[in-house]
Amino acid sequence: MNYDGIMLGPLQECNRKAFLDSILDLCRPGKEFWLAEIGIAAGATMAGILRALQRHRPDCDWKCAGIDIVGGWCFHSGAIRSSCGQWLEPAPKLEDLPELPARKLVYYDCGSEYFFNHAAGIQFDAVHVDGCHAPTCVARDFLVAAPKLKVGGVMIFHDADPWCQNDPKEIQGCGFPIGTRQALISLDILGVPHVTGYRKGWAVEHNIIPSNAACATHNRGGQLCRGSVIIRKTAEAP
């Protein structure tokens, strides 16, 4: 698919094709499609997703929800309204979220555990995990979102390339450095280096580690493009 002109934000450009393909491949005409983003921040990545859906899946009944915490590391409601305003709806109570109109976005000021525990009646097709990247936070996001993901659905973890892990300059809101890969290894999703994931019911589809050339090409403001791990749910947990 052609994603020319669709940006996901400065730290996501190296992930663009695999990231968007993994989402849009699940979106079918006339079918309801649910996406959740943990850590919507300023809405840059969500805006790119919505533009891709609008361009390539105009007949799909997609519905999107973003969550973040007011006062968190980079949450900015004004920026979300600016970047995603044409799709944005006033957020209903979480128990009423299933009634969201098609091709609309809402966002909530809450953590992932509260969101997935209260968004009753929804099974998500895709979840983007881009909130706090400390190991315990990433693991928690996976564990609360996994039961709410459909079999065949995907979960995408950003900030997963090796060289941004445990960087003392990248302290997260909870006071710890990035540890996305550490979390995925502790969850048995990634194995030791060069070994694919082996958690039962999950398959690793992409382990995107940007090359130095890709980082140089997509460098924005001195920040390097960062990789993602994309996994697919193949079965319900035993």
Q: Which domains does the chain have, with CATH numbers?
A: 13-233 (3.40.50.150)
- Comparing 155 with 120, the larger pLDDT belongs to 155
Q: State yes or no: pLDDT of 74 exceeds 80.
A: no
Task: Enumerate the H helices of 33-161 as residue ranges.
Answer: 44-56, 77-84, 112-118, 135-145
The percentage of the chain sitting over the pLDDT mark of 90, rounded to a whole number, equals 61
Could you tell me the pLDDT band of residue 72, with boundaries at 50, 70 and 90? low
The percentage of the chain sitting over the pLDDT mark of 70, rounded to a whole number, equals 88
Distances (CA, A) of 226 to 159, 160, 163, 209: 5, 7, 9, 7
pLDDT computed for residue 24 by the predictor? 96
Look at the block and give the residue holding tokens 């919507």: 40
| pLDDT tens string 142-152 | 999 999 999 99
Q: How far is CA 39 from the centre of its chain?
A: 8
For the chain, give me the number of helices (H) and strands (E)?
7, 7
Report the pLDDT averaged over residues 37-44: 92
Distances (CA, A) of 204 to 40, 87, 159, 184: 23, 31, 16, 11
pLDDT computed for residue 208 by the predictor? 80
pLDDT computed for residue 194 by the predictor? 56
Q: State yes or no: pLDDT of 12 exceeds 80.
A: no
